[in-house]
Structure 1
Amino acid sequence: MFFTSAIDGDLRPSFFEMYAQEKLILALRPAVSFALEVLAVRQPLFFKLIPYSDECFLLLHFSLEWNSLVRSNGSISEAFYSLRRVSAKSGFEANSELAALPRKSIASSLLCNVLIPYLKSKLDELFERVSGGNAARLLQGLTSNVERDEQHPRARLKSVLMRLFPFLSSAFDLLHLAYNLLYLFERIQYFSPLLHIQRLIVRRVSLQEMQVAMRQPGTRDLPKSKFWRILGSVLTGFKYGLIVGVFAFKAIEYYYRVEVRPCGFTRSRGARSVAASLTDQVLSLYLQNHSSRRSNAILKPPEPIGQAQSADAGLPRSKDDCPIFSRLSSSRLPLQLKLDYRLPQVLPT
């Protein structure tokens, strides 16, 4: 249930193997963003890619997943743990021949492993941006009854979708948790609902399949072009290098998590925040240099500070200079009102 071994002939992965390979891919996104920020500190040209870090990760993830599914019959994290995907009809049984995944299964795996998580992350960001955060959602309940009758149909539909999205996201998470618990107690053979939809299960690679894989470099007849062979080798090496980079990123993040120096400087925001602060500083310096080069302006020295003007500059010095007093004296107001007006005494400078 909890711990199983392929030596005993049991090809069903344990719960911890499946959980670890599922969480491994989640650390790739912040690792790629951190790498872009570090490269941007070295090369300012990479600043243009920082706003599109999600799209860069999408392309990288798609290419690596495709290469891993074609060569190893499993995703990146599954191949790292010596796991592979097979049809649910075959079950957890060893095969003497290393059968490749059908193209339909590869396409569905790319859809569920790459595109759906990307769309979900974008929907989460859109929901946080539109809803305004937790404080705005708390205040929304107080004003929803007042503004319900004044909303446009399009705005009303938008508010309904904003209300339904958290429930749909929570329902999917609860369904995923239910599948994990049922897999833990060996009630079902699918670890997630997405695998159930694809009718695919994940099992260990048997010893016979390992021997076949050692004799046969690829599980599918890849194009015989030299370019595709080199590209496949580069992607395979980059896949394992990226996984090693994830572990290095986690080590750096753990090192910078909480560290208090004797001088009182505290680093508790993680390595990614440190790189982000460095990125902001380098970006500001780069923009200043770029603007100064375009304008070719020479900075002038500051002008000497002259004598400060007195606070009573511009005030009338006598009753004759005061426009208000002159109007009062020429008007037909009673004498008592005229005498009540007192001009403030201004000391000469």
Structure 2
Amino acid sequence: MAERGAHITTASPNEDRPSIFEVVAQESLMAAVRPALHHVIKVFAESNPVRYGTLWRWFDELYTLLDLLLQQHYLSWASSSFSENFYGLKRVALGTSGRGQRLARHEYWRSLLLLVLVPYLRVKLEKLVSRLREEADYSIQHPTSFCKKFDKVILAAYPFAKFAWEGWFLFYQLRYILGNARHHSPLLGLAGVQLARLTVEDLRAMEKRAGQTTSPQAALSASQGVRSIMKKALGGMAVSLSSSLSLGVFFLQFLDWWYSAENQETLKSMSTLPAPPPPIHFELETYSPLLPKLRTVCPLCRKVRVNDTALGTSGYVFCYRCAYYYVKHHQRCPVSGYPTELQHLIRLYTPDG
């Protein structure tokens, strides 16, 4: 029974066409690397905002730059992305076996742009939609304004666009499983390539490209000798980086599991501390200058509060308009300085209001 069902999980080693499990696994590899690195940068930024805050604010752009350098190295060296090379796969032109052949120039640039640009644009779009949803819940803009209407159009169209995008990929994967398509992803079709397994000839060619040396005549020139040393050093750094990434994949996947929502709920239930007591009302001479003497006055505008709103992270009460704009631009409580977000605003309704 096991022998008869072995072809379901893996293809024959003599076949160049990888199984659906291999191609899906290599896609999930990079999908796990990004959130793990994102959490690592977040931990550093929270521990030292002055030093690492810039990395947190520009994480998407910095990650895209590193991804561009990494994918460019693997496409030029192994004709594959990092995750594809990790699983022993390569990119070849559509309809060919690709034995001993490298990607053409247009296939190389298409693959590079689709590997790097599409994930970046998708992350930016998801963040834009998330921000628009928060503003739709907490914004005080007039609902008939042009910007508000345009935001509603984006929020209404996004679920259908996401459904169509995911369905597009699912359609190609089903065709690939049934043997009616040469590639499992429409992005591979746009790049004009398909995936195949690495062969012994491919491994030898990769080793030859990695160990290429300059000719003895070129080494006689001092300038060319310096260039040769720099080229070797950069090549060694690239190989070291790829090896380090390969070894760090397991660690990053472990971090992704450790900081998952389910695991964090378990950790919080085991280490939850009791709520702190409310702030003590100090004497007037020692009272905080940020707080007004009258309890009905807003600490921001110094006027009688309108639409009382409390910050869930600190417990202090402000005008809704004052608290909304301050938290939106500073992401912290104006009195205590605790980090906060718009969803922490709590409207208070008094019996006489």
Same fold (TM over 0.5): yes
Structure-1 residue corresponding to 2:73: 67
2:36/2:255 contact within 8 Å kept: no
1:239 partnered with 2:242: yes
Structure-2 residue corresponding to 1:189: 182
SS for the counterpart of 1:13 is coil
Q: In structure 1, what is the Cα distance between the partners aligned to 2:161 and 2:90?
A: 30
Kindly provide the CA deviation profile for residues 69-105 of structure 1, in whole angstroms up to 9, marking residues without a partner as x. Answer: 0101000000101110000031xx362x2x2212221
Structure-2 residue corresponding to 1:45: 51
- The residue identity in structure 1 corresponding to 2:53 is F
| Shift, 1:160, TM fit | 2.8
Q: In structure 2, what is the Cα distance between the partners aligned to 1:151 and 1:42?
A: 40
Kindly provide the CA deviation profile for residues 118-168 of structure 1, in whole angstroms up to 9, marking residues without a partner as x. Answer: 0111011101211338x849xxxxxxxx96xx554x654443333222211
88, 91, 95: which one aligns with 1:89 = 95
Q: In structure 1, what is the Cα distance between the partners aligned to 2:48 and 2:78?
A: 36
Structure-1 residue corresponding to 2:279: none
| Shift, 1:33, TM fit | 1.8
- The residue identity in structure 1 corresponding to 2:21 is F
- The residue identity in structure 1 corresponding to 2:87 is Y
Aligned residues with identical type, % of pairs:
28
SS for the counterpart of 1:189 is coil
| Shift, 1:211, TM fit | 3.1
1:1-349 matched pairs, under 5 angstroms: 2-5=8-11, 7=13, 9-40=14-45, 41=47, 44-90=50-96, 93=97, 95=99, 97=100, 99-132=101-134, 136=137, 150-152=144-146, 156-217=149-210, 225-255=228-258, 257=263, 264-265=270-271
2:94/2:193 contact within 8 Å kept: yes
| Shift, 1:258, TM fit | 5.8
| Shift, 1:195, TM fit | 0.8
Q: In structure 1, what is the Cα distance between the partners aligned to 2:39 and 2:133?
A: 27
5+ unaligned residues in a row in structure 1: which ranges?
A: 138-145, 268-301, 306-349
SS for the counterpart of 2:194 is strand
SS for the counterpart of 2:210 is coil
- The residue identity in structure 2 corresponding to 1:237 is S
1:259/1:266 contact within 8 Å kept: no
Structure showing greater relative contact order (alpha-carbon pairs closer than 8 Å, 6 or more residues apart): 1
Kindly provide the CA deviation profile for residues 218-263 of structure 1, in whole angstroms up to 9, marking residues without a partner as x. Answer: 79x9x964334422331232133224323113224445626868x9
SS for the counterpart of 2:15 is coil
Flag the 1:213–1:162 CA change in 2: closer, same or farther, 3 A. Answer: same
Structure-2 residue corresponding to 1:294: none
- The residue identity in structure 1 corresponding to 2:245 is L
1:74/1:83 contact within 8 Å kept: yes
SS for the counterpart of 1:201 is strand
Structure-1 residue corresponding to 2:308: none
Flag the 1:68–1:6 CA change in 2: closer, same or farther, 3 A. Answer: farther
2:89/2:196 contact within 8 Å kept: yes
1:258/1:266 contact within 8 Å kept: no
Higher CA-based Rg:
1
2:17/2:197 contact within 8 Å kept: yes
Question: After alignment, is 27-36 or 187-196 more displaced?
Answer: 27-36
Structure-1 residue corresponding to 2:316: none
Q: In structure 2, what is the Cα distance between the partners aligned to 1:57 and 1:252?
A: 17
Question: After alignment, is 11-20 or 224-233 more displaced?
Answer: 224-233
Q: In structure 2, what is the Cα distance between the partners aligned to 1:241 and 1:304?
A: 56
SS for the counterpart of 1:188 is coil
Kindly provide the CA deviation profile for residues 4-40 of structure 1, in whole angstroms up to 9, marking residues without a partner as x. Answer: 3463x11110111000000101112122223324544
Flag the 1:61–1:304 CA change in 2: closer, same or farther, 3 A. Answer: closer
Flag the 1:210–1:168 CA change in 2: closer, same or farther, 3 A. Answer: same
